[in-house]
Amino acid sequence: MIHKKTSDKNSFQETISNSIDVAVALPVFKTYTYQIPHSLIPLAVIGKRVLVPFGRRTITGYIMGPPKLPVPKKIKLILDILDKKPLFPPSMIPFFKWISDYYLYPIGEVIRTALPGGLNIFDMPTLTLTEPGRRALRLKSETPMVSMILRHLLKGPCSLKNLHRHLKKEVPRAVIHNLEDSGWILKKRALKQGRTKPGVQNFVSLIRSDIPDDRFYDSRKQILNLIESHGDISLKELKSTLPGHTGYLKFLKDGGYIAITPKQVYRDPFGEPVSQDQPPELTQAQQHVITTVRRSIGKKYTTYLLAGVTGSGKTEVYMHLAAEVIKTGMSVLVLVPEIALISQTERRFRSRFGECVAVLHSGLSAGERYDQWLKIMDRKVSIVIGARSAIFSPLTHIGLIVVDEEHDASYKQDGGLRYNAKDLAVVRAKLNDCVAILGSATPSLQSTYNVYSGKFRQVSLTRRIRRMPMPKVDIVDLRESRDNRGVTKFITLRLQTAVRETLQRGDQILLFLNRRGFASFPICAACGESIRCKNCDITLTYHKRINAYKCHYCGFTIPATSPCPSCGSSRIKHIGLGTEKLEDWITSLFPEARVARMDADTTRRKGSILKILKDLKNHAIDILIGTQMVAKGHDFPGITLVGIVCADLSLSFPDFRAGERTFQLLAQVSGRAGRGTVPGRVIMQTYNPDHFSILAAMNHDYKTFYNNEIKFRKTLNYPPFSRIIQLKISGKDKEKSGNLARDLGDLCLKLTTDLKNEFQMVEVLGPVESPITRIAKYHRWQILLKTRNIRILQKFVRQLLSDNKNALNRPGIKLAVDVDPVFML
């Protein structure tokens, strides 16, 4: 019996007796009770991984705490405890449970997703012949199969896989089980260690420096002096500081002058060294925000929405609050959208806070990630910065959680555990009784709605630092630009002139074209309206095979020969233009300019984004062409002109958030202009110059956008007025996937007629094929479930899945549940 005392403020003083509660890394929702062998009891601590028998398998599990009562009579023993130190603190257990419950995702898999990758242990059974087995072999009374196995094992232990190979036939599992039961063979799990281990480096330390004064004296003394002035130094660093001196180390070591010992190190994920910076004097507006937020810090849970225009000094506010929080001994978690942004925010935090910052993002290697994780666990850092998955970092004593650019869709994980890190930030803040700040120049509709409904509090920064004006936005109507070859159509005379003038001034230009996802959607060349579904008010998608436009929410279809529903014109265009083509055009129009492109294609290699950003900063690039990647919070002081080549591309996505995304994108991209000392200018080309999302972006007018968009959501009963769960069906077999989708749809409908009143309110939309009907050979279908209350929806889906477990379990067909879906394609 041990008492584990933790300093974790949410932990209970738990007592782990001889049994524990374990979450296994399998698709099951329950946790299980296991007994601990006496010798392992002192090692059993919450947050460590254990190896447990489960059915016929051996799997990894996580210690969750004392057993649930009453403890069952017959429980299995755990086989091993895998970690020396826990991987997560006890305070994270309620968080994991909340996630499992909310996202309808098995608890053990939640934890597995949360932990750094590469930790899991895989089992490979090995068979060994026992003494009774040897005796049995001598009696020669066995079936040929059995004696063949036993004879082979006589040569030594062998894995099941090799046994199959050697006997040139599949050995039935039952035979193996029988042999095991009769005690003739022993099945052992030879464990393949996960590939991630802490990094170890050799360090040199000084013992004494009274070396003999011989002909090697100077070189040897140099080494000793270095260690003396530097303190313990890694062998690697010593070798690079004093090249050619390694030959002397053996003498020094053998003579007892120095010691070389291995030490655990944290591999450094940072690039270049960053110089210290001094916090600027805060503006009055910043001061005001900080005073307001400060009142809640260390006291009670509150979420603040920091609405601050681009360049208004939000990051400075985060850093100031972070400094106050860590002064009180608490920690800070900062979430930023993507790797590109991390490098900037990371740099700014590093230059302010130095070594107490840990960074977690998907660009790290498994080893680097693991090192950062341990550093956080050991409380060696007080600030963690990271992308989405950093929400799981094992921080304790959290005082503040910052979510920068909170509107960004990259906080949502697409696949596996489909969580939204922004929402989880609020949940974690609540569970930890701390403050969350969600910041953005273009807050999500949901967050602003939460301010109005009293869930969040708003603080604002309405002006740019140094009172720099917001850039002036000129709208260019693409409908009046008639050139079917495309070049001068999309690079209009106005845009060309502006680019030329900017180049002549020696300033930089950003050209934005969002061509992610869809290439082909219908838009009327006469009136500029996109062709929409009459039931859903969502843009239809062109299907070449059936030559028709189709709605991906409800299945509504019209022939592609139909005239424009708004003006009757038959001049329907399919838009498709990409950044690569744009780059060609620009290069031929401005051969003297240095042009670079930043999109998913050009930034696949590690470090390539950083290189582009650096080139831009050093003015080695005149024109940067990019997708939504360039919209993300970068600070490019040299850019004075932003050209938005076609503002409508995202407007026409078959998604109820299309208007919101468009506004956010346009406002963010425009915000890249004129952040330095020269005022900025934006040329926004569009087919929809009267659309409220575009007008609002032009006027930097969030309020008008919100008021319009919220009406549309209300009328069509979309979030925030309803909640959505999407069922995603996919499989390689086209027919089978479709069948499951249809059967699931029927089961959903049946459930809505269930006598339980609350289920009758669930709207079932679909099943329909997903807008992208096939990805990587998988055929995709979806069903949208909609109602007011998320708890009802979750209950609905839980019941749907548990009542029809067998009917829905079909080989080769995947069924995923997406709570609060963001990616509707």
Binding site for ligand ADP (CB under 6 A): 280-283, 286, 308, 310-316, 465, 635
# of chain residues touching Zn ion (CB under 5 A): 15
- Identify whether the C-beta of residue 262 lies closer than 8 Å to the C-beta of residue 200: yes
Among 373, 553, 663, 702, contact with Zn ion (rule: CB under 5 A): 553
Residue nearer to ligand ADP on the CB measure, 314 or 597 = 314
Residue nearer to ligand ADP on the CB measure, 368 or 406 = 406
Q: Binding of Zn ion at residue 765 (CB under 5 A)?
A: no
Cis amide prior to 70 (ω within 30 degrees): yes
CB of 280 vs ligand ADP, minimal distance in Å: 4
CB of 522 vs Zn ion, minimal distance in Å: 10
CB of 781 vs Zn ion, minimal distance in Å: 15
Q: Binding of Zn ion at residue 564 (CB under 5 A)?
A: yes
Select from ligand ADP, Zn ion, none the partner in contact with residue 535, using the beta carbon and a kind-dependent cut-off of 5 to 8 Å: Zn ion
Beta-sheet strands, E only, within 389-547 = 398-403, 435-440, 457-461, 472-477, 508-512, 521-524, 541-543
Question: Is the Cα dihedral 535, 536, 537, 540 positive or negative?
Answer: negative
From the list 262, 234, 233, 258, the residue with the least C-alpha distance to 248 is 258
Assign 816 to helix, strand or coil.
strand
The two structure tokens encoding residue 108: 């053990």
Question: Is the Cα dihedral 331, 635, 456, 337 positive or negative?
Answer: negative
Select from ligand ADP, Zn ion, none the partner in contact with residue 524, using the beta carbon and a kind-dependent cut-off of 5 to 8 Å: Zn ion
State phi, psi for 102 to the nearest 5 degrees: -75, -45
CB of 707 vs Zn ion, minimal distance in Å: 25
In whole angstroms, give the CA distance from residue 691 to residue 652: 12
Among 473, 551, 582, 695, contact with Zn ion (rule: CB under 5 A): 551
Residue nearer to ligand ADP on the CB measure, 261 or 677 = 677
Residue nearer to ligand ADP on the CB measure, 465 or 487 = 465
Among 536, 649, 698, 724, contact with Zn ion (rule: CB under 5 A): 536
CB of 286 vs ligand ADP, minimal distance in Å: 6
Give CA 194 to chain center in angstroms.
22
Question: Is the Cα dihedral 773, 778, 779, 785 positive or negative?
Answer: negative
Question: Is the Cα dihedral 538, 539, 542, 547 positive or negative?
Answer: positive
Residue nearer to ligand ADP on the CB measure, 308 or 638 = 308
Select from Zn ion, ligand ADP, none the partner in contact with residue 536, using the beta carbon and a kind-dependent cut-off of 5 to 8 Å: Zn ion
Residue nearer to ligand ADP on the CB measure, 280 or 354 = 280
Q: Binding of Zn ion at residue 521 (CB under 5 A)?
A: no
Residue nearer to ligand ADP on the CB measure, 186 or 468 = 468
CB of 743 vs ligand ADP, minimal distance in Å: 50
Select from ligand ADP, Zn ion, none the partner in contact with residue 280, using the beta carbon and a kind-dependent cut-off of 5 to 8 Å: ligand ADP
Q: How many CB atoms lie within 10 A of CB 376?
A: 24
Among 334, 524, 639, 725, contact with Zn ion (rule: CB under 5 A): 524
**C-alpha to C-alpha distances, 667 to 310, 509, 539, 632, nearest whole angstrom:** 9, 17, 22, 11
> Per CB under 5 A, which region of 23-31, 103-111, 433-441, 568-576 contacts Zn ion?
568-576
Q: Binding of Zn ion at residue 554 (CB under 5 A)?
A: yes
DSSP states of 754-803: SS-HHHHT-EEEEEEEEEEEEETTEEEEEEEEEES-HHHHHHHHHHHHHH
Select from Zn ion, ligand ADP, none the partner in contact with residue 282, using the beta carbon and a kind-dependent cut-off of 5 to 8 Å: ligand ADP
> Per CB under 5 A, which region of 154-162, 294-302, 368-376, 545-553 contacts Zn ion?
545-553
Select from ligand ADP, Zn ion, none the partner in contact with residue 577, using the beta carbon and a kind-dependent cut-off of 5 to 8 Å: none
Q: Binding of Zn ion at residue 784 (CB under 5 A)?
A: no
Select from ligand ADP, Zn ion, none the partner in contact with residue 242, using the beta carbon and a kind-dependent cut-off of 5 to 8 Å: none
CB of 327 vs ligand ADP, minimal distance in Å: 19
Select from Zn ion, ligand ADP, none the partner in contact with residue 22, using the beta carbon and a kind-dependent cut-off of 5 to 8 Å: none
- Identify whether the C-beta of residue 9 lies closer than 8 Å to the C-beta of residue 396: yes
The two structure tokens encoding residue 337: 């959208």
Residue partners of 634: CB distance under 8 A and separation at least 6: 340, 341, 344, 613, 672
Select from ligand ADP, Zn ion, none the partner in contact with residue 567, using the beta carbon and a kind-dependent cut-off of 5 to 8 Å: Zn ion
CB of 463 vs ligand ADP, minimal distance in Å: 11
CB of 306 vs ligand ADP, minimal distance in Å: 9
CB of 665 vs ligand ADP, minimal distance in Å: 16
Residue nearer to ligand ADP on the CB measure, 275 or 561 = 275
> Per CB under 5 A, which region of 48-56, 170-178, 564-572, 770-778 contacts Zn ion?
564-572
DSSP states of 692-735: HHHHHHHTT-HHHHHHHHHHHHHHTT-TTSSEEEEEEEEESSHH
Assign 676 to helix, strand or coil.
coil
Among 115, 387, 533, 744, contact with Zn ion (rule: CB under 5 A): 533
Beta-sheet strands, E only, within 153-195 = 158-159, 185-192
Residue nearer to ligand ADP on the CB measure, 555 or 637 = 637
**What's 452's DSSP letter?**
H
**What's 420's DSSP letter?**
B
In whole angstroms, give the CA distance from residue 644 to residue 512: 5
Select from ligand ADP, Zn ion, none the partner in contact with residue 564, using the beta carbon and a kind-dependent cut-off of 5 to 8 Å: Zn ion
CB of 701 vs ligand ADP, minimal distance in Å: 18
Select from ligand ADP, Zn ion, none the partner in contact with residue 308, using the beta carbon and a kind-dependent cut-off of 5 to 8 Å: ligand ADP
> Per CB under 5 A, which region of 353-361, 407-415, 531-539, 693-701 contacts Zn ion?
531-539
CB of 284 vs ligand ADP, minimal distance in Å: 10
DSSP states of 555-624: --EEETTPPPTTT----EEEE---HHHHHHHHHHH-TTS-EEEESTTTT-STTHHHHHHHHHHTT--SEE
Residue nearer to ligand ADP on the CB measure, 284 or 561 = 284
In whole angstroms, give the CA distance from residue 25 to residue 60: 6
CB of 316 vs ligand ADP, minimal distance in Å: 4
Residue nearer to ligand ADP on the CB measure, 19 or 315 = 315
Q: Binding of Zn ion at residue 535 (CB under 5 A)?
A: yes
Place of tokens 């120049």: 441
Q: Binding of Zn ion at residue 527 (CB under 5 A)?
A: yes
Q: Counting beta carbons within 10 angstroms of the beta carbon of residue 592, is it exposed (0 to 12), middle (13 to 18) or buried (19 or more)? A: exposed
**C-alpha to C-alpha distances, 163 to 190, 312, 591, 736, nearest whole angstrom:** 15, 68, 67, 36
Place of tokens 């679909």: 766
In whole angstroms, give the CA distance from residue 359 to residue 347: 10
In whole angstroms, give the CA distance from residue 436 to residue 714: 28
Select from Zn ion, ligand ADP, none the partner in contact with residue 314, using the beta carbon and a kind-dependent cut-off of 5 to 8 Å: ligand ADP
Residue ranges in contact with Zn ion by CB under 5 A: 524, 526-527, 529, 533, 535-536, 551, 553-554, 556, 564, 566-567, 569
